[in-house]
Amino acid sequence: MYGCSNLMYCISEHAPHSSLQEIMKWNGWGYSDTKFLFNKKGQAEFTGKRYKLSGMIIPALKEWMEGTFGTNMQHKSLATPALTRTAVQPPTLNEAFVEELKSTGVPFSHDAEDRVFRAHGHCLHEIFALREGKVGRVPDLVVWPNCHNDVVKIVELACKHNVCLIPYGGGTSVSSALECPQEETRSIVSVDTSQMNRILWIDEKNLTAHMEAGIVGQDLERLLNESGYCTGHEPDSMEFSSLGGWVATRASGMKKNIYGNIEDLVIHVKMVTPQGVVEKSCQGPRMSTGPDIHHFIMGSEGTLGVVTEVTMKIRPMPEYQKYGSVVFPNFEQGVACLREVARQRCAPASIRLMDNEQFKFGHALKPQVSSMFTSFLEGLKKFYITKFKGFDPDCLCVATLLFEGNREKVLQHEKQVYDIAAKFGGLAAGEDNGQRGYMLTFVIAYLRDLGMDYYVIGESFETSVPWDRVLDICRNVKARIIRECKDKGVQFQPFSTCRVTQTYDAGACVYFYFAFNYRGLSDPVHMFEEVEHAAREEILANGGSLSHHHGVGKLRKAWMRETVSDVGMGMLKSVKDYVDPNNIFGNGNLL
Amino acid sequence: MASSNAYAQRDPMLKKRDDFEDILEERRNSSDLRYALKCYTPALYKGVAPCKSSMLKSMVLQSDQLHYVIQQVSKETGRQTDNVQEEVSAILDEMAHSLQLSTVRFFAFTLSKIFKSLFKSIRVNEEGIQRLQQAIQDHPVVLLPSHRSYMDFLLMSYLLYTYDLTLPVIAAGMDFMGMKFVGEMFRMSGAFFIRRSFGGNKLYWAVFSEYVKTMLKNGFAPVEFFLEGTRSRTSKSLIPKLGLLNIVMDPFLKGEVFDVHVVPVSISYERILEETLYARELLGIPKPKESTSGLFKARKVLSEDYGSIHVYFGQPVSVRSLAEGRVNRCQFNLVPRHIPGRPDEDIHSFVNDSAYKLVRAQEDNMVLKPWVLLASLLLQKQAVGQEQGTALDELTAQAVWLRDLSRQYGAFLHWPDQMTPSEVVSSSLSLHRGLVRTCEGKVQLALEHEGGAVGPQSAAALEEKLLSQAVIVLSCASYRNQALHVFLRPALLASAIHAASSNQKQEVFNSFSFLRNMFSNEFILCPGATVQDFEEACYLLVKTGTLQVTQKEVLVNERGHRTLAFLVSMLDPFLQGYQVVCRFLCEEATETLTEKQFIPAIRKFIIKHLLAGRLRYAEVLSSDLQKNSLAAFLRLGAVEKIKGPIELLIVFHT
C-alpha cells in the first residue's frame, strides 16, 4: 500500500475488464507478449503470434545493430521490470468530486498502475523514464465513462469542483500531450474513453457510420469489415489509437490518397466542453456556415473538451488489394517519381519512398528464409539490380506501393504507376518487398524497445513540405542530426534517415528516424531532446511544417506562435477562453 | 565597456598558426615536365563526377531561375522568349569557364619556371591545405584569397594543382578578356568572366548568379573570387564587395545545401610585382590597358628578385555557423526560391558583417616581413624631415623594438630568428634597394637626389620631381600598409588620446569613435564593433604597458610615450590627408564641382600645398585616400551628391 488511506482505496471501483492495459506493456510499445529479443544463440527473434513476423528469426538484425550503432551484446541497459508503487506520488483527490462521481456510477480508479499507464504517450523521454522506474506527475484519478452522457456528467462535475480533466484515448501520442503539467495543483482526472467503443449505427444509403469516439482503429475496421465496409483510415498506430484521438490531433492515414485524412472523413462530431455540447445540426456533406466549427475541434488536442461521438464516411471494402515495390537508383530519382505521380494525380492508396539507410534497415529485418529457392531468388534479384542494372547499393532506395479497388482498375493503375517509375529509372521489385514494407510499419515500433535494451535511443518525427523542398529538407535535416550528435560528443555516427510517406498536390509528408548509441553520455535524454529540437529548427528553416499529423502537444508548443502568427494565436486563445474559461481541460497542449 | 579581462582569451599572442612548407624546393629538385604531367586525381565533393562545361551551361540554361527571368524579361520588353534565350546563351558563352587539364598542365609547367626565377620560395601552410581538402569533400567550398597582384589567381590554381585538390573556378574581371589569347588561356584554366558593371541588367545578373550557384550547389568545384573586388593598390585590405558573397551564401540560406564553407586565404608577397605600377596609378599616371603585348613587355620583371611568397589557407568558415542565431531562414518559406528578390535588410547586414569578418581573417593571417616594419619606420622618419637618413644600427634597434611590439599586438611576423637583427635588416634593405638607399652607414628612402643646380627650377620640373618622389613614398607606404591592421586599433586609440581634450575615458572613447567612424571607408573596421574595437585597443595598450585604463580615466604611462608617438605617426598621414581634402572642399569647391573633376582638382590643390611646404606627406597624393575621404564625407553628410545630368558635389559648411 502507498500513502493513501485505506478508506480511499476501498471506495474506488475497479478498472473495466476489457481494458487494453492488461495486455500491453507498461513501459514500452504494444502488446506484452510481443517483442524483439536476442535468443540464446544470439540471434534476433520476434516473439508472440500477433504479426506475420512473430515467432521468426531475423538473422541480419544483430549485425546491422552492431554496424549501425556500435552496440555490443554484452552491454545491456535493461528496463526496471515492474513499476515500484512507492515511486508514484499518492493521488491528490478532490473529495467532493469523487463523492459526487461515485453517485453517478461511472467507474473510476486511483490505482497506481492505472494512473501511470495514462500518464504518458510514447515520446522517447517518457518511455526512457518509465524504463528507469521514474514517474513524474501522474493523473490522480482515472474515470471510464461508458457513453456520451457519462462524459457530460463528468465534465459538469469537473467544472463544479474545479478538477482538471485530461482526455485519454489510445495513449499513442508522441507530442508529450498526455504528460500532466508539472505546475497543475488541482486534482487531475484522466478521462479514459476506451469503454465508449461501439458502432452506434451504419447508414448504407449515405455511406456513413456513427461511432463512439473511444473505439480503437483496428476494432473499428474489423467491425465495419463484418458489414462489408471500411473507413480506410489507417494510421500506423491504428492497433491502439482511438477515433477520438484521431479527431483531436488531425490524424492522417496511410491510405489517405483514396479515403482522405481525418478531416475529409469526418461528417459530424460531438464534443463535450465546459460550456456544453458542441455539434452541428445536420449531416450535410459540405456547408458554408462561417468557419467550420469542426476545425476548432479537430486538432484541439484535448484542450477544449472530450470528443464523444463521430459520424464518419465509410466505403465498401475494396474488392482487390495489391502490394508492390519499385527500386530507384537513388533517392533523388525516387522523389522525382513521387512528384510526377502526384502531378498526374494517380497516387495509389499508399506510396512511400524509403531512403538508402532505411532500405538497408528494412533489409536487416528480413526473416530467415525457409527454402533454398527463395534465398536463391533473392540473390538473383540482388545481382540483377546491383550488377546488371548498375545500381549502387549505397545509393539505391525503394518505394513501397499499395493499390486498392476493383481488380481490373488496380491492374491498370499499377501499370500506369510502374510506367511513370520507369521514366525515373525505377525497377519493379515485387509484391513481397512491398507487403513486407507495410508489415514492418507496425513492427518497427517494437524495435525501439530492443534498442533501448542496448543503449540505443531513437525517435521518429514528421513534417510536411512543398515538393520543391523535399530533397533539401531530407538532406539538411539528416545532416543536421549527424552534426548535432557529433558536436555533442556522440561517439558513433547516429542513424539518421527519412522516408516520404504521403504525397499531396502541393507537397509531401516526410518522416525522419533518428537513433544513436548513448553509452558514455551522462544525460542522454537531455542531449537527445536538444538534437530533436535542433532537427525541428532545421525543418522549419527549410520550409517544413511543425507537424503533419502528430500534433503539437507540449513538445512542439514553443514554435506555435511563429507557426500561426500572433493573430492566429490570439484566435485560438480566444476560442479556448470562451469554451473553457477555467481551464478544466488543462493538459496544457498547443497554446 | 567590459573589463579588459574578458579580452584575455582573445589575446592575439596566443593565436596558434601553422607552419609553412616551401613548395618551390621540390620544383628546384625535380623535373617540371614530370610535375606538369603528373597524375592529377583530386578528391571530389561527396564523390560527384566533375562536370563538363557544356553540361554546366545546359544546367544553368534549364534552371527554374533563368526560366523565370527569361519569361519576365520577355513580358516586360515584348521580345520573344527565344530571342531572350539567345541573349542568355550568349552571355553564358561569354562568361563560362572551360577548364581543360592540358591548359592547366601548360600553366603548371610555365609557372614553375617563372616562379622559380622570380621567387626565393613559395611557402604554404600544409595544415591549411589538409583542412581545405577535407572541406572540399564535405561541403561546397568558396575560396577567398586576398588580392594584391595579378599573380594571385594563377598562384592559387597552381597551389591546388600541386596539392592535388580540385581546381577552382575563378571569377575574373572582364578586363582580362581584352587580352585575347591570355584571356582564353585563363578561361581554360578555370577563370570565368564577369562584366565590371551590369547594374540593373536583370538578365545578366540572373545568368551570372545562377552560373555561380549551379557550380557551388553541385559541388563541381570550389568557387574562387576576390572579396575586395579588385587588386588593392595600396596593400591595405579593401572594403569588401558583397555581390558574389551574397550569391554564394544564398544556396545555404535557402536550404539548397546543408552548408557552404568559405576559406579565407592570405597571400603575402615580400615584394609585389606591381609595386611601382600601383604607385603611378595612384598618382594618376594612367594604368595601361591589360594587353597581351603589355604582359610580355613586363618580362623584364623576370630578371629581378621578388623574395618569397607566403600563402596561408585559413580555417574554413561555415556559413551555417555564421548564420546561427543571426538569420531567420524561415523568411524564404513563402516565396518560391527561384524567384529572384532583393535581400532583406537583415540578410544584407549579415552578409556585410560576414564579409568584414572574412577580410579580417585574411588580414590576420597575412605574413609580415621585417621590411614592412622598416618601411613604417623610414616613412615616419622621412616625414619629419630627416634629410641625411638614419644610422643603420639605430634603425636596427628600432626595428627590434617594433618587432617586439608588433608581436605583442598579434602580428604574424616572419622574422628569421636564426639571423642577427642587423643581418635581417640589411637583407631586407637589399631586397628593396629600389626604394631605399644606404649611404655611409645611413639609411633613407631613395628619393630623387637634391643634386644639380640649386637655382630656380621651372614649376613643371618641380612638380615632376615631386611626383617621382611620391612614387617611392607610395611604394614604401604600400609595405607599411601591410602592417596597418596590426596597429590600427591601438593607433586609433593613440590618436584619440592625442586629440581628446582630457583623459576622461568617455571623452577618449568619443574621440576614438569619431575617428573610427571617419576612417571606416579607409580601413577594415567591422560595422557596429566600436566598443569591441575600443576594448581591444585598450587591452593591447594596457598589456604592453603603454596605458593605464581605470573606470573613468585613460592615463599614459611614462614609458608609453614612445609607443604612443609611433602609433600616432602611423595614422598621421591619413589624418592629414582627410584634413587636406576637407580644406579643399571648403576652399575650392565653392562653385559646382562634379565628381569627375574631383580627383584632378584635389591633386592640383595638394601638389600646390606640398610644393609650398604646407603639407608634409607626399602620400596624400594617393587617389585611393582621396576617394575614400570623399566617400567618408558623403557618408557623414558633410558633402552631398546631387544627381542630375552631371553629378554635383555640394559641400556643407559646418
Q: DSSP state, A206?
A: T
Q: Is the pLDDT of residue B48 over 80?
A: no
Separation CA B113–CA B91 (nearest Å): 35
Give the pLDDT of residue B454: 52
Give the pLDDT of residue B457: 72
Average pLDDT over residues B584-593: 77
Separation CA B182–CA B289 (nearest Å): 14
In chain B, residues with a C-beta closer than 8 Å to the C-beta of A330 are none
Grid cell of B239 as nine digits: 572594403
Confidence of residue B177 (pLDDT cuts 50, 70, 90): low
Q: Is the pLDDT of residue B647 over 90?
A: no
- Select the residue from B332, B333, B334, B338 to test the A interface by mutation, using most A Cβ atoms within 10 A: B333
Contact B227, B207 (CB under 8 A): no
Give the pLDDT of residue A441: 85
Q: Out of B255, B259, B336, whose CB is closest to A472?
A: B255
Contact B540, B489 (CB under 8 A): yes
Separation CA A406–CA A532 (nearest Å): 43
Nearest residue in A to B332, CA atom:
A543
* Bigger pLDDT: B585 vs B254: B254
Average pLDDT over residues B37-62: 86
Q: Is the pLDDT of residue B175 over 90?
A: no
Contact A469 B255 (CB under 8 A): yes
DSSP structure string for A99-145: HHHHHHT--EE--HHHHHHTS--S-HHHHHHHHTT---S--SEEE--
3-state secondary structure of A463: strand
Position A558, amino acid: A
Contact A472 B336 (CB under 8 A): no
- Select the residue from A469, A540, A560 to test the B interface by mutation, using most B Cβ atoms within 10 A: A469
* Bigger pLDDT: A509 vs B462: A509
Separation CA A532–CA A524 (nearest Å): 12
Q: Is the pLDDT of residue B292 over 90?
A: no
Helix A356-364 crosses helix A431-453 at what angle (to 10 degrees)? 80
Give the pLDDT of residue A388: 76
Q: Tell me the nearest-neighbour CA distance from A250 into chain B, angstroms.
A: 23
Q: Is the pLDDT of residue B194 over 70?
A: yes
Give the pLDDT of residue B459: 81
Q: Is the pLDDT of residue B427 over 80?
A: yes
A351 phi, psi to nearest 5 deg:
-145, 125
Contact A541 B255 (CB under 8 A): yes
Which segment, A158-162, B78-82, B450-454, is predicted with the most confidence on average? A158-162
Q: Which of A252-256, A359-363, A420-424 has the lowest mean pLDDT?
A: A359-363
Confirm whether residue A141 is marked as ligand binding. no
**Percent above pLDDT 70 for chain A:** 95
Tens-digit pLDDT profile for residues A263-277: 999 999 999 999 999
Q: Is the pLDDT of residue A10 over 60?
A: no
In chain A, residues with a C-beta closer than 8 Å to the C-beta of B260 are none
Contact A426, A335 (CB under 8 A): no
Give the pLDDT of residue A17: 53
Q: Is the pLDDT of residue A376 over 80?
A: no
Grid cell of B144 as nine digits: 577567398
Position A319, amino acid: E
Q: Which of A281-295, A359-373, A502-516 has the lowest mean pLDDT?
A: A359-373
CA-closest candidate to residue A245, choices A312, A189, A308: A308
Tens-digit pLDDT profile for residues A504-544: 999 999 999 999 999 989 999 999 999 999 999 999 999 99
Tens-digit pLDDT profile for residues A105-120: 999 999 999 999 999 9
B476 phi, psi to nearest 5 deg:
-60, -45
Q: In sequence order, which residues have a C-beta less than 8 Å from that of residue A582 and are 6 or more positions away?
A: A159, A162, A274
Q: Is the pLDDT of residue B648 over 80?
A: no
In chain B, residues with a C-beta closer than 8 Å to the C-beta of A540 are 330
Give the pLDDT of residue A8: 38
Give the pLDDT of residue B176: 65
Tens-digit pLDDT profile for residues A196-227: 999 999 999 999 999 999 999 999 999 999 99
Give the pLDDT of residue A11: 40
What is the ipTM, given to two decimal places? Answer: 0.90
Contact B255 A473 (CB under 8 A): yes
Beta strands in A329-396 (DSSP E): 350-354
**Percent above pLDDT 90 for chain A:** 86
Grid cell of A87 as nine digits: 515511486
Q: Which of A414-428, B163-177, B514-528 has the lowest mean pLDDT?
A: B163-177
Position B642, amino acid: I
Nearest residue in A to B334, CA atom:
A543
Q: Tell me the nearest-neighbour CA distance from A208 into chain B, angstroms.
A: 38
User: In whole numbers, what is the pLDDT of chain A averaged over residues?
Assistant: 93
Confidence of residue A549 (pLDDT cuts 50, 70, 90): very high
Give the pLDDT of residue A12: 44
Q: Is the pLDDT of residue A576 over 80?
A: yes
Residue B648, CA distances (Å) to A369, A517, B32, B580, B642 in order = 87, 70, 57, 20, 5
Contact A476 B336 (CB under 8 A): no
DSSP structure string for B60-96: HHT-HHHHHHHHHHHHHH---HHHHHHHHHHHHHHH-
Longest dimension (CA), chain A: 76
Contact B216, B140 (CB under 8 A): yes
Residues in chain B: 654
Give the pLDDT of residue A9: 38
Q: Is the pLDDT of residue A20 over 90?
A: no
CA-closest candidate to residue A189, choices A590, A589, A588, A584: A584
Q: Which of A202-206, A287-291, A494-498, B456-460 has the lowest mean pLDDT?
A: B456-460
Position B394, amino acid: E
Helix B151-162 crosses helix B101-118 at what angle (to 10 degrees)? 110
The catalytic residue positions of A are 511
Give the pLDDT of residue B299: 60
Nearest residue in A to B255, CA atom:
A542
Q: What are A's interface residues with B at a Cβ cutoff of 8 A?
A: 468-469, 472-473, 475-476, 479-480, 540-543, 562
Q: In sequence order, which residues have a C-beta less than 8 Å from that of residue A3 and are 6 or more positions away?
A: A90
Give how far the C-alpha of residue A171 lies from the chain's centroid of Cα atoms, to the nearest Å: 9
Separation CA B298–CA A48 (nearest Å): 86
User: In whole numbers, what is the pLDDT of chain B averaged over residues?
Assistant: 89
Give how far the C-alpha of residue A143 lies from the chain's centroid of Cα atoms, to the nearest Å: 24
In chain A, residues with a C-beta closer than 8 Å to the C-beta of B328 are 541
Give the pLDDT of residue B269: 95
Confirm whether residue A429 is marked as ligand binding. no
Give the pLDDT of residue A426: 95
Confirm whether residue A426 is marked as ligand binding. no
Contact A469 B258 (CB under 8 A): no
Confidence of residue B9 (pLDDT cuts 50, 70, 90): very low
Separation CA B68–CA B113 (nearest Å): 48
Strand-pair partners of A326 = A399, A428
Tens-digit pLDDT profile for residues B202-211: 899 999 999 9
Give the pLDDT of residue B586: 85
Average pLDDT over residues A476-489: 95
Average pLDDT over residues A26-55: 93
Confidence of residue B455 (pLDDT cuts 50, 70, 90): low
Nearest residue in B to A467, CA atom:
B336
Strand-pair partners of A230 = A315
Contact B492, B533 (CB under 8 A): yes
Grid cell of B432 as nine digits: 628593396
Contact A543 B332 (CB under 8 A): yes
Confirm whether residue A572 is marked as ligand binding. no
Cell 515538393, residue located:
A467
Give the pLDDT of residue B639: 86
**CB-based contact, B336 to chain A, within 8 Å:** yes
Scanning B298-457, the segments in alpha helix (DSSP H) are 319-323, 345-364, 370-383, 392-408, 421-431
Q: In sequence order, which residues have a C-beta less than 8 Å from that of residue A530 and are 6 or more positions away?
A: A484, A488
